[in-house]
């Protein structure tokens, strides 16, 4: 995407955070792979974000909202457009709600780990499922993240989005349509913040539940190697990890991309993997599971950008 000096200057004037050109996105994803974005911009608050998105839409420049990059694969050719990091949107607070509940308000860039710490400190229960999930609020809500029988839809009270007209729009839970690993929103909508309804609880019990979940993750997930979390959605018939294991695919490699020997639904980066290798491995897994069990695996990880 050609960027003239005038447009670069406009981009830089939109935000107080960094504006980086030809920046490798692998530095900003948990898998550690991906080519460069034409531009990577770091707005520091929702006003800067609104100003930036207005410029991009007016100029008809493609953009990608980027959280913690934990459920994202960027192809080796990179992203032709502007990647917009939401990490600067970090306001987190809580207020008393109705019927003895508590409402936790978090901007899109708040790490889920920060909410877990807040809940443990303030004795709030309902978000223990987020323990050990490395993502941020915006991405977790957008993909309806979940674990151990609880999903974001179970605790979200409302969200605020910047719509295609650059208007800040508040959507209550009754206005939202959640599906498995997906919140139905227009592609142009960018989640700015979310509000969660939680309940007062016992601090020791909350701490014990968090520790139990963290312990389970350490035992079952390859946390010592770079990964993007669950690669495939779970079919109705059986967890994807079990299907992959039964197909004998654990340990299968393409270059430095490998199906984890600990959990079949994780692909790990052994050091110098490329996105093309990961995608080749994903396709082999799909074919083998289809041939063995007549089940089609659908990617859970988001894949963007151009081939190298």
Candidates 105, 135, 107, 130; CA nearest to 117 is 130
Q: Kindly state the DSSP code that residue 95 receives in the 8-state scheme.
A: E
68 close to 30: Cβ distance less than 8 angstroms: yes
107 close to 139: Cβ distance less than 8 angstroms: no
* 281-to-10, 71, 156, 253, 267 alpha-carbon distances in Å: 41, 17, 35, 7, 8
* Burial (CB count within 10 angstroms: exposed 0-12, middle 13-18, buried 19+), residue 195: buried
Q: How far apart are CA 308 and CA 296, in angstroms?
A: 27
Instruction: Tell me the catalytic residues.
Output: 181, 230, 300
The residue behind tokens 């079952």 is: 220
């Amino acid at each position: 995407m050609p960027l003239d000096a005038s447009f670069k200057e406009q981009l830089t004037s939109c935000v107080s955070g960094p504006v980086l050109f030809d920046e490798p996105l692998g530095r900003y994803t948990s898998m550690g792979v991906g080519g460069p974005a034409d531009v990577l911009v770091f707005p520091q608050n929702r006003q800067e974000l609104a100003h930036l998105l207005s410029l991009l839409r007016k100029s008809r420049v493609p953009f990608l909202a980027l959280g913690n990059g934990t459920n994202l694969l960027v192809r080796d050719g990179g992203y032709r457009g502007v990647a917009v990091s939401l990490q600067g949107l970090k306001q987190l607070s809580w207020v008393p709600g109705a019927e003895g509940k508590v409402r936790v308000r978090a901007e899109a860039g708040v790490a889920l780990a920060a909410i877990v710490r807040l809940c443990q400190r303030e004795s709030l229960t309902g978000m223990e499922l987020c323990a050990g999930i490395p993502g941020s609020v915006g991405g977790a809500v957008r993909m309806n993240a979940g674990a151990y029988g609880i999903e974001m839809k179970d605790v979200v009270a409302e969200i605020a989005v910047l719509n295609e007209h650059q208007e800040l729009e508040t959507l209550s839970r009754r206005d939202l349509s959640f599906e498995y690993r997906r919140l139905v929103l227009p592609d142009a909508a960018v989640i700015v913040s979310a509000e969660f309804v939680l309940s007062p609880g016992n601090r020791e019990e909350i701490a014990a539940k968090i520790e139990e979940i963290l312990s389970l993750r350490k035992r079952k997930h390859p946390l010592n190697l770079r990964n993007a979390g669950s690669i495939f959605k779970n079919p109705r018939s059986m967890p994807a990890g079990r299907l992959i294991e039964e197909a004998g695919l654990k340990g299968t490699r393409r270059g430095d991309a490998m199906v984890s020997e600990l959990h079949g639904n994780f692909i790990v980066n052994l050091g110098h993997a490329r996105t093309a290798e990961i995608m080749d491995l994903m396709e082999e897994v799909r074919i083998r599971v289809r041939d063995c069990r007549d089940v089609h695996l659908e990617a859970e990880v988001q894949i963007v950008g151009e081939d190298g």
